[in-house]
Structure 1
Amino acid sequence: MTRRPIRLPCSAFETDLSQRSIGMRCFRCYPGFASLVVLTIGVIAAPPLPPALAGIPTDAARHWTADNGNGTYSNPLFYEEFEDPDIIRVGDTYYLAGTTMHMNPAVQLMQSKDLCNWELAGYCMDRLDLGPAFRLEGGNIYGQGIWAPCIRYHNGTFYVFTNVNGVGLQVFRSKSIHGPWERNQLPGRHDLSVLFDDDGKVYIISGNRAPYPIEELAPDLRSFVADAPRRSLPERMGEGHHLYKINGKYYDISAIPGATTDQMVARADSIDGPWTVERMVQGESLGVTIAAPAHATASDRGLTLHQGGMVDTPSGQWWSVIMQDHGSAGRMVALVPITWDNGFPLIGLPGNLRKAPNTWIKPDTGHTQDPKPAFVHNDNFDGGKLNPHWQWNHVPDDAKWSLTEKPGVLRLHSLPANDFYSARNSLCQRPPGPESIMTVELDTSGMVAGDTAGLALLSSPYAWIGVVKTGEGTTLQMYSSPGRERGFARPGAATEPASPPAVSQTAPPQRLWLRVACNFDTDQAVFSWSADGRDFTPLRPPFTMTFQLTTFQGVRPALFHYNTSGRPGGYADFDNYTVEEPRARGIEREIPVGKTITLTSGADGSVLAVDSRNMTLVNVAADAPGADAQNTQFQVIDLGKGRVALKAANGRFVSAAGEAVSMKDLTGETPSDAESFQWVNLMRGDTMLMSLTNHRYLATKPNDPGPVSVSATGPNPARKGGAEFKW
């Protein structure tokens, strides 16, 4: 395959975007020469699966799945955005509802039998058409629209309650999770939750600051009960309420607003109170950094778990599906166990409450299945229906797009717009992490003067690569906005300040391929194009992706077509949209069972070693006298369900008692919980080892050689806490 080198400043990239589609080599030049990156972009060729993944279904190996295939799961539940989750169980099936804001269809619903493998159940509303701004007519609703849905099931009917800012509380009801859904509207309530009580009353709690009003809804859910007693929860909680009645007691859980915050739980014997408040989860980042991981420092607090619902299994276990920010990829959800402690549901495991494991045993739901990806994004536009994971940016003009005018392609007719941000009929998806490569084929033969069509990342700032037709000719351009877009823009307000695009010196062919490669570890995206679908050429240095509160979402790849002449234009045909996930599973999910390894601390480069005199486990500098292979090599013994024992060269096993760690002789015995460690993967090659005795992690003291303990409560986001290892 011919490769075309492109030279860019070295600082443009931090790490390889993809081992398969984009290869980068950094050359430190002789004094006086600038550092360069040689970038070659070529065709994506799926490699054979690693041996550790050979037994996993191909779709699950090529796309992110939380299910590891060995009886465990790893977070995030979906490695793509799913906001403000609420969850219920009906019989043996679990249902999840999430925020969709300005996207259409609206209110996303998922279903699962095992809490780990999910599939799309549908949406509550095909078109969220509640006024001109919802259609990008004279304004917009970026960052508004559907917020924080509450899903419930009562007397054979599914209900979804969700507020639309500036419009009101939407109440959806259906006998089937798949619809059709009936809708009525009530006065608005922020981040609400609804409880159908045993006595027939229906309570609703809402608000983002104390006191939080607790009101009553009429039994038909079409009005509030005007003469109901005035109730409230006066203690400081947060927003994103989830109201429950469990074993005769009332519970409300909500999150203190913000990304690096915690979730609270309040309990009362009566809906009238008094309420007692506890912290449900505290400072749990699961190793997710505030900064892009490539730039994280040891002081990075991480983006913590907050705002989610909880559910029980038929076996009596309790679990929470809870949200966590993930930088420019958006807000995702994690599945974490709940332990009841003194009558309060606390996230975590005994011995390590208010913290959560990133990898743990799958829930006991009574149902087993092979790993299956929740989202497969590819679409060749055959069959007359869009892949259901597509969503339109605002309400589309359904007369201006078609899958039938030319069967087998998506045809977008251009509508008048000043810029991409205000253009109707942009078709979007959520990009999977930690890396994804979106490619689409574009036929421009139907475009006319004033038309712009291509592939974008919707955000603020946003960026796109595409074909621009004017009276003077046709050019291939890449544009990135300054990031001064506004939600709820005033009619006539400029949304895209003038900024020169990068223009290719090569005239684009009538048929071409466009690509954007996103790396969410670096928050960098590379836009490129190809004349043959094989060799891709970038137009400019990488675009920096961000999470922001204008669209209030992570970046969204979008297919678009608009006309700047003030009138409708021609058409553009899109085909063969593909999404590659270079690190969908890979080595970071592999446990080196049967191998002999050395564990190196990410904090200081020290290694774990056997102290032969005291028969303890210590960490020593990699070049210290005690760091010879006899002391630092451990065989990984498979104990099943992602659990391992570590056997030293002297035949002894790493063993925990309380927080102390020793080397134990197990001659004639099998490893017990004291010698068992849950292998926890943090992605990017970082590993933690959780003791089954206290559910804490094997840890060193950074830059302080000495005894190792099982004392760490969780990961340091920058992998510098002493409990994160590489092997």
Structure 2
Amino acid sequence: MKNLGSVTNKKVGLSAVLLAVLTGCQVDVASHSSAESRMPQQAKTGSFGDQGDGTYINPILNADYPDSDIEQVGDTYYMITSKQHMSPGMPILKSKDMVNWENVGHAFSSLSWAPEYNWDRMNGYSFGVWAGDIAYHEGKWYVYQIDYQHGLMVTTADNIEGPWSEPIMMLPKTDVLDDPAVFWDEDTKEAYVIVNTGKKQKGPENTIEGNENRIYRMSWDGTKILDDGKLVYTGMGAEAAKIYKKDGYWYIFLAQWTMGDPSTKPGVKNPKNDRKQIVLRSKESIYGPYEVRTVLEKGSAFGNRSASQGGLMQAPDGSWWYMHQLIQNDDIPFQGRPQCLEPVTWVDGWPIIGIDEDNDGIGEPVKRFEKPIKGYPINAPKSDDDFSGTVLGPQWEWNHNPRDSHWSLTERPGWLRLKASKVLPQGEQYGPKINEWTNNDGSDGDFWRASNTLSQRIMGITTGTAIAKFDLSGMAPSQLAGFVRYGGTFNLLGVEGLENGDTRLFYMDGMSNKTEGPIITSDTLFVRTSNVRNNATYEYSTDGITYTAFGPTFTISFGKWTGDRLGFFSWNEREDRGYIDVDWFKYDYDGPKGINQMILTPDMQ
């Protein structure tokens, strides 16, 4: 698909409130939250993304949106990113200018193809939806991905917003590792998919170290494999291929783990891990033979963060651009793998991605650059929610497939109701294996086996404050419910239902150590959490005006390929009983936010 050149389809300042939070003081925020919510809302800028002056700062999508692929249809760019066991799976975003992105939905309404992703197992941590490929062909949308535990699959839709079909399995897990990409050749009417098969089909005759990448012929309708595949490239950590055709050349873009900062040659081992973007080029055939060059490496803009894996785009003026992720070789990559936008210059038929800052013929990422397409407003993925609709906003994802009988937006219109299920038992069939998901040995904690945890990504790595309003009147004995921040570890601030009918505040850390707080005599509870870089705190209020800090300053962190998230939990230690209602959620952070992403209410109390 990705015919390029003559492009035939694509593929074809810290606030006083936050300072007080971190020092543990009580804060009177009546004038802050209420007055602010009454002011006319305007789109805002911040430390990343659209700067409102015709430029952008990378990462333009500074949140946990990893493994991007992009399909351009008309004047709109569509992006997919992975998210493992989260449900719904494979987020879809869209943009008119490559810089400002908004939610479209998800390609997988649930992870329906395996029982371990269901609420009664929660045994699919680390797996599920990995890097994929989005394509538009003859009026139909396609999304491909490989679940490491199950194989290559495709889902299709007539409309990008869905509904999407049940996944069709195309290759078994015994043959493939990860990262498919497809191409329809309109000249020959042949369709192909390239796949990282790792070492699963590697024979003794292939003495090159690393992953094998194979191209399979595919049916024209994109749903069946027609041959046994042909090996086209082997390299250390070589994956995330994308196929393009431009000016008579075949191009295969690959991310490859090289080793060592000074290395510019693919596959050269040195003591320090690094990841680069390489390009294979052939004049003869999609099968090669291929020349190989490194076209993007980390430079001075992002310290130790490697840069690779993404997709090419073209602007209306003919300029080329590349979207890619940053890899977490940083000291505080708690937001996950964000997306950067780079200019692309073609020199002698080879792309230079970014700016060649050291004049070695290889591009490095830019920090700030002129926007490729001007005239579109500042926008961002949704965050705030007043739960006034009948379906969940696309910013929300469940930890595994939810128990649908135990959540509702209609039982109490304008509120999200989370009913408490009994926490799943410990055992081989339930929850994560030790250290399979968490950053420590706390993976036997109840939180990881509690269904219907709902969350969204944090944005940025500087500052952020999220607030939610809860109604506790439905709490039951032995029920725990409230607010969670989690990635590779979790930190909870919530309430516990006691046998005498009281409700008590508690904080719980990632090792399930519980700090008990005061009895909450009000049915209304506000929870606020703030972070300055990777230091975060919780505070609570019963009137939405005066907040009191509770619990320690804790570290939010990246773990097992996911960044920190903000959300809600509800479980019961003994029985299916009790519920908590969420009235609204509001999230302010140091980054772009479109006016259509903000709750406009007369009062946030």
- Structure 2 residue 517 is the aligned partner of structure 1 residue 504: yes
Matches within 5 A, 1:552-591: 552-565=561-574, 567-581=575-589, 583-584=590-591
Letter in 2 for 1:223: K
Going from structure 1 to structure 2, the CA distance change for 1:38 and 1:91 (only over 3 Å counts) comes to closer
Name the structure 1 match of 2:6: none
Give the Cα–Cα distance (whole angstroms) in 1 for the partners of residues 300 and 573 of structure 2.
45
Name the structure 2 match of 1:369: 376
- Structure 2 residue 470 is the aligned partner of structure 1 residue 442: yes
Residue of structure 2 aligned with 1:474, choices 484, 498, 503: 503
Residue of structure 2 aligned with 1:400, choices 406, 411, 415: 406
Name the structure 2 match of 1:424: 451
Letter in 1 for 2:304: G
- Kept after mapping to 2: 8 A contact 1:22/1:41: no
Name the structure 2 match of 1:184: 168
- Kept after mapping to 2: 8 A contact 1:233/1:273: no
Matches within 5 A, 1:25-40: 37=23, 39-40=25-26
Residue of structure 2 aligned with 1:262, choices 253, 257, 276: 276
Bigger relative CO (Cα 8 Å, ≥ 6 apart): 2
Give the Cα–Cα distance (whole angstroms) in 2 for the partners of residues 64 and 382 of structure 1.
31
Shift of 1:440: 1.0
Matches within 5 A, 1:497-536: 499-507=512-520, 509-519=522-532, 521=533, 523-536=534-547
- Kept after mapping to 1: 8 A contact 2:467/2:585: yes
- Structure 2 residue 153 is the aligned partner of structure 1 residue 170: yes
Matches within 5 A, 1:308-347: 308-325=310-327, 327-347=333-353
Give the Cα–Cα distance (whole angstroms) in 1 for the partners of residues 316 and 588 of structure 2.
37
Matches within 5 A, 1:680-719: none
Q: What secondary structure is seen at the aligned counterpart in 2 of 1:191? A: strand
Residue of structure 2 aligned with 1:278, choices 246, 271, 293: 293
Q: TM-score, normalised by structure 2?
A: 0.79
Give the Cα–Cα distance (whole angstroms) in 2 for the partners of residues 71 and 252 of structure 1.
32
Name the structure 1 match of 2:99: 116
Name the structure 2 match of 1:412: 418
- Kept after mapping to 1: 8 A contact 2:356/2:364: no
Deviation digits for residues 455-500 of structure 1 (CA, Å, limit 9, x no counterpart): 0012232110110113254321000123xxxxxxxxxxxxxxxx53
Name the structure 2 match of 1:137: 120
Q: What secondary structure is seen at the aligned counterpart in 2 of 1:420? A: helix
Going from structure 1 to structure 2, the CA distance change for 1:285 and 1:429 (only over 3 Å counts) comes to farther
Give the Cα–Cα distance (whole angstroms) in 2 for the partners of residues 137 and 70 of structure 1.
50
Shift of 1:177: 1.6
Give the Cα–Cα distance (whole angstroms) in 1 for the partners of residues 526 and 24 of structure 2.
22
- Structure 2 residue 212 is the aligned partner of structure 1 residue 214: no
Unpaired stretches in structure 2, ≥5 consecutive residues = 1-12, 199-209, 259-272, 425-445, 594-605
Percent identical pairs in the alignment equals 30
Deviation digits for residues 139-195 of structure 1 (CA, Å, limit 9, x no counterpart): 421221111110112222221111122122221222322222223222243111111
Give the Cα–Cα distance (whole angstroms) in 2 for the partners of residues 157 and 325 of structure 1.
32
Give the Cα–Cα distance (whole angstroms) in 1 for the partners of residues 410 and 35 of structure 2.
37
Shift of 1:65: 6.5
Shift of 1:100: 2.2
Give the Cα–Cα distance (whole angstroms) in 1 for the partners of residues 485 and 325 of structure 2.
23
- Kept after mapping to 1: 8 A contact 2:212/2:231: no
Going from structure 1 to structure 2, the CA distance change for 1:143 and 1:285 (only over 3 Å counts) comes to farther
- Structure 2 residue 548 is the aligned partner of structure 1 residue 546: no
Letter in 2 for 1:118: W
Matches within 5 A, 1:353-392: 353-363=362-372, 365=373, 368-370=375-377, 372-392=378-398
Q: What secondary structure is seen at the aligned counterpart in 2 of 1:373? A: coil
Shift of 1:284: 2.9
Shift of 1:99: 0.7
Give the Cα–Cα distance (whole angstroms) in 2 for the partners of residues 130 and 470 of structure 1.
39
Name the structure 2 match of 1:711: none
Residue of structure 2 aligned with 1:194, choices 159, 182, 188: 182
- Structure 2 residue 479 is the aligned partner of structure 1 residue 451: yes
Q: Which moved more, 1:116-125 or 1:256-265?
A: 256-265
Shift of 1:318: 0.9
Shift of 1:507: 4.0
- Kept after mapping to 1: 8 A contact 2:352/2:363: yes
Unpaired stretches in structure 1, ≥5 consecutive residues = 1-15, 27-36, 50-56, 288-300, 483-498, 587-727
Going from structure 1 to structure 2, the CA distance change for 1:474 and 1:178 (only over 3 Å counts) comes to closer
Residue of structure 1 aligned with 2:78, choices 63, 71, 95: 95
Give the Cα–Cα distance (whole angstroms) in 2 for the partners of residues 373 and 512 of structure 1.
31
- Kept after mapping to 2: 8 A contact 1:63/1:376: no
RMSD: 2.7
Shift of 1:417: 0.6
Letter in 2 for 1:439: I
Q: Report how many residues are paired.
A: 515
Shift of 1:387: 2.4
Deviation digits for residues 298-347 of structure 1 (CA, Å, limit 9, x no counterpart): xxx52121211112223221111100146111111011111112211121
Name the structure 2 match of 1:589: none
Deviation digits for residues 495-525 of structure 1 (CA, Å, limit 9, x no counterpart): xxxx531111454532211122123x2x111
Going from structure 1 to structure 2, the CA distance change for 1:260 and 1:232 (only over 3 Å counts) comes to closer
Larger Cα-atom Rg: 1
Shift of 1:137: 2.5
Shift of 1:553: 0.7
- Kept after mapping to 1: 8 A contact 2:237/2:257: no
Give the Cα–Cα distance (whole angstroms) in 1 for the partners of residues 132 and 591 of structure 2.
29
Going from structure 1 to structure 2, the CA distance change for 1:350 and 1:414 (only over 3 Å counts) comes to closer
Residue of structure 1 aligned with 2:194, choices 199, 205, 210: 205
Matches within 5 A, 1:661-676: none
- Kept after mapping to 2: 8 A contact 1:476/1:508: no
Q: What secondary structure is seen at the aligned counterpart in 2 of 1:21? A: helix
- Kept after mapping to 2: 8 A contact 1:238/1:264: no
Letter in 1 for 2:459: P
Q: What secondary structure is seen at the aligned counterpart in 1 of 2:354? A: strand
- Kept after mapping to 1: 8 A contact 2:91/2:107: yes
Letter in 2 for 1:355: E
Q: TM-score, normalised by structure 1?
A: 0.67
Going from structure 1 to structure 2, the CA distance change for 1:217 and 1:506 (only over 3 Å counts) comes to same
Q: What secondary structure is seen at the aligned counterpart in 1 of 2:216? A: strand
Shift of 1:561: 0.7
- Kept after mapping to 2: 8 A contact 1:77/1:333: yes
- Kept after mapping to 2: 8 A contact 1:59/1:373: no
Q: Which moved more, 1:230-239 or 1:449-458?
A: 230-239
Letter in 2 for 1:558: G
- Kept after mapping to 2: 8 A contact 1:215/1:231: no
Going from structure 1 to structure 2, the CA distance change for 1:350 and 1:570 (only over 3 Å counts) comes to closer
Going from structure 1 to structure 2, the CA distance change for 1:562 and 1:92 (only over 3 Å counts) comes to same
- Kept after mapping to 1: 8 A contact 2:297/2:365: no
- Kept after mapping to 2: 8 A contact 1:503/1:539: no
Give the Cα–Cα distance (whole angstroms) in 1 for the partners of residues 24 and 161 of structure 2.
50
Name the structure 2 match of 1:608: none
Letter in 1 for 2:370: I
Give the Cα–Cα distance (whole angstroms) in 2 for the partners of residues 343 and 162 of structure 1.
30
Letter in 2 for 1:480: D
